[in-house]
Amino acid sequence: MRVSRLMLVTLRDNPAEAEITSHQLLLRAGYIRRLAPGIYAYLPLMWRVLRKVAEVVREEMDSTGALETLLPQLQPAELWQRSGRWSGYTAGEGIMFHLEDRQGRELGLGPTHEEVVTSLAAELLRSYRQLPVNLYQIQTKFRDEIRPRFGLMRGREFIMKDAYSFHADEDCLRRTYAAMDQAYRRIFARCGLHAVAVEADSGAIGGSASQEFMVTADAGEDLILTSSDGRYAANQERAVSLAAAAVPLPGGCRSAGTGELLNTPNQTSIGDLCSAHGFDPSQIVKVLLLLARFDSGREQPLLVCLRGDQQLNEVKLANAIAAQLAAEQGSLLGITPLSADMLEQQGLPPLPFGFVGPDLGDAVLAGARRWSCSFVRLIDHTAASLESFVCGGNQPDSHRVGVSWSGLGLKPEPLDLRSAQAGDRCLHDPDQLLQASRGIEVGHIFQLGRKYSQAMEACFTSETGASEPFWMGCYGIGVSRLAQAAVEQHHDGNGIRWPLAIAPFEVVVVPANGADTTQASLAEQLYTALGRAGVDALLDDRAERAGVKFKDGDLLGIPWRVVVGRGAATGMVELVDRRGGEPRELEASHLLDLLLPEIERQRRGLLEP
């Protein structure tokens, strides 16, 4: 390919829309253009990268025996109603784009394909003899993300590889899950990515194993917690740890655990209380009032207690709520803090926000217009294990000191609702501390178990002749996100440094002075020879100054540059490695001998899996 024919438009300055380096570089180097928030055109250079990534993914998936397929992106609502996910995905903060056809039937644009593939399996896979099966596709997905951002990192239209496996028993599912884990490691290594596997949240499904693959990068949206010995790594959404011990409250329980009243004017926060009275945050039980909304229409007030020095983990809370209530209430649509306005809309009197204790009575909800009239009460184990604590007095400007759970008349059932933090001690070895780093989630593998097959009555006939729901796994890779993550890991001040295996071109041949016929013809010859040898070569045939061409080459991130300059007269050229090192002078006739083995090696990937 000749640069003059490439429709190449590079930008000198960082576009205002781009916050992170990889996004800036992809825009500046002419890889992508934004059409609307989260919607990008993949320009020809980007498309070459994406095809290479997809090819690596395809080879590794095929090598596990998975079958490539292509499923419809338009999906009938009825399928999603059967799995119980339609309203969760379309109402409230749901991310599914949906529409009505001319007959008035509702359709969704596929954000994921469990429903479609499960319905196919139900029709096609009748006997245990046909199992296991693992189907995958590489396809554009649509998600109306709440915050599309960072270019291809969080798009509303993006390319995903998704795979779904079907098994007669759980052991077989585990084996495929392990094979996918290995295939994923090979894929990321071949694409030149440093990726780490971390324990991930399995959502409301509970119990099933799930693992995310994170490309470590400061720009990552996820927080990963890793033990210093490397034996534990988890997404913060899921991570568990030992909380620091609480500082005992001097004086212990007072007045049989009902506590003594303390005047706390305007001291609504933990910080206010501690600075006014010298408490340690771990001596306080803080109460969060929230509202959970379900697709059944029910709105459920929550009263959540945590130790004052702990942060609520919203994912753990949502899982706990879903586990307790989803069976009767359907899917959880969202959880929001209760506000004075919301109370007013329910026709309820105001609450003393900032002064609420764990024993706030359900009477305050009596007469609510739509809400259920009693709190669901959830207590984190850090709060539950306090013997004597400080908490709100349930009236403005008052707290109580020296309170116990029995003094409040409550029997806490401890739950894990707190977020693990960097510096916490690890469960597997309290001498190990958790360290935090940021990551970009490029893949997620998941043992779904029988959630979808049961909901959608997708069954096969087992060896004993019984009809049983399939065991299922699902396995995703964000192909377009991965490509940008590679830029986030591989760049310098001059531009991108693509790992060769996914670079749009492997070599760029640059005649320093295109008007010089000796240079131009040697460049042309080398370009042709590289092409014949199966190398993805680019010829910078533009009538630009050498400096401009070098700059663009660096920005584009082509791994190798062959400069044909004054030495051309004596058959000499210069070879430059975009990853660094001194340029090498060599005879043009030796170029292929030197470069081909190197390219061959780098195509297999730069990292050991």
CB closer to ligand ATP out of 112 and 602: 112
Binding flag, residue 143, ligand ATP (CB under 6 A): yes
- Taking CB under 6 A as the criterion, the residue among 128, 158, 166, 232 binding ligand ATP is 158
- Looking at 244-252, 363-371, 476-484, 505-513, which segment touches ligand ATP (CB under 6 A)? 476-484
410 to 429: interface string for ligand ATP, x by CB under 6 A: --------------------
CB-CB neighbours of 475 under 10 Å:
26
Which amino acid type is present at position 72? Answer: P
Q: State which residue, 162 or 552, has the beta carbon closest to ligand ATP.
A: 162
Residue from 112, 114, 164 nearest 143 by CA: 112
Residue 176 token pair:
């495929």
**CA triplet 91, 97, 100: central angle to 5 degrees?**
90
The nearest distance, CB 476 to ligand ATP, in angstroms, is 3
- Answer for which of 383, 442, 512, 522 binds ligand ATP (CB under 6 A) is 442
User: Near ligand ATP by CB under 6 A, which window of 244-252, 306-314, 367-375, 475-483?
Assistant: 475-483
**Per-residue buried b or exposed e for 134-158, using 16+ beta carbons within 10 Å of the residue's own CB:** bbbbbbebbbbeeebbbbbbbbbbb
Among 238, 293, 399, 444, binds ligand ATP (CB under 6 A): 444
Looking at the Cβ atoms of 111 and 259, the one nearer to ligand ATP is 111
- Round to whole Å and give the CA distance between 538 and 531: 9
The nearer residue to ligand ATP, 158 or 452, going by C-beta atoms, is 158
From 174-182, 315-323, 440-448, 560-568, give the range in contact with ligand ATP by CB under 6 A: 440-448
- By CB under 6 A, residue 441 contacts ligand ATP: yes
**Looking at beta carbons, which pairs linking 174-183 to residues 24 or more positions away fall under 8 Å?**
174/447, 176/64, 176/132, 176/134, 176/473, 177/209, 177/445, 177/447, 177/473, 179/64, 180/64, 180/445, 180/473, 180/475, 181/211, 181/445, 182/609, 183/60, 183/61, 183/63, 183/64
CB of 213 vs ligand ATP, minimal distance in Å: 7
Assess 176 for contact with ligand ATP (CB under 6 A). Answer: no
- Contacts (CB under 6 A) with ligand ATP, residues 331-390: none
Q: Which of 151, 439, 478, 511 binds ligand ATP (CB under 6 A)?
A: 478
Pairing of strands 133-142, 67-68: parallel
Q: Does 22 bind ligand ATP (CB under 6 A)?
A: no
Does the CA dihedral 12-15-21-23 come out positive or negative?
Answer: negative
CB of 609 to ligand ATP, least distance (A): 18
110 is an interface residue for ligand ATP by CB under 6 A: no
Q: Could you say which DSSP state residue 471 is in?
A: E
The yes or no reply on residue 195 touching ligand ATP (CB under 6 A) is no
Would you count residue 155 as binding ligand ATP (CB under 6 A)? Answer: yes
Sort strands 414-415 and 376-380 into parallel, antiparallel or unpaired.
parallel
Both structure tokens of 436? 């935090």
- Kindly tell me which of 4 and 139 has the beta carbon lying closer to ligand ATP: 139
Q: Categorise residue 557: left if φ over 0, alpha if ψ from -120 to 50, beta otherwise.
A: left
Asked if 113 is part of the footprint of ligand ATP (rule: CB under 6 A), the reply reads no
**CB-CB contact of 371 with 346 (8 Å):** yes
Q: Tell me: does residue 160 bind ligand ATP (CB under 6 A).
A: yes
Tell me the C-alpha distance between 329 and 324, whole Å.
Answer: 10
**Contacting range for ligand ATP; rule: CB under 6 A; set: 131-139, 245-253, 437-445, 531-539:** 437-445
**DSSP sequence for 523-544:** HHHHHHHHHHTT--EEE---S-
Cα 517 from chain centre: 52
Kindly state the number of chain residues that form the binding site for ligand ATP, as judged by CB under 6 A: 15
Restricted to residues 282-321, the positions that interact with ligand ATP (CB under 6 A) are none
Q: Does 112 contact ligand ATP by CB under 6 A?
A: yes
List, in sequence order, the alpha helices (H) in 233-389.
Answer: 270-277, 314-329, 340-345, 381-384
Q: Which residues bind ligand ATP (CB under 6 A)?
A: 112, 143, 145, 154-155, 158, 160, 441-444, 476, 478, 480-481
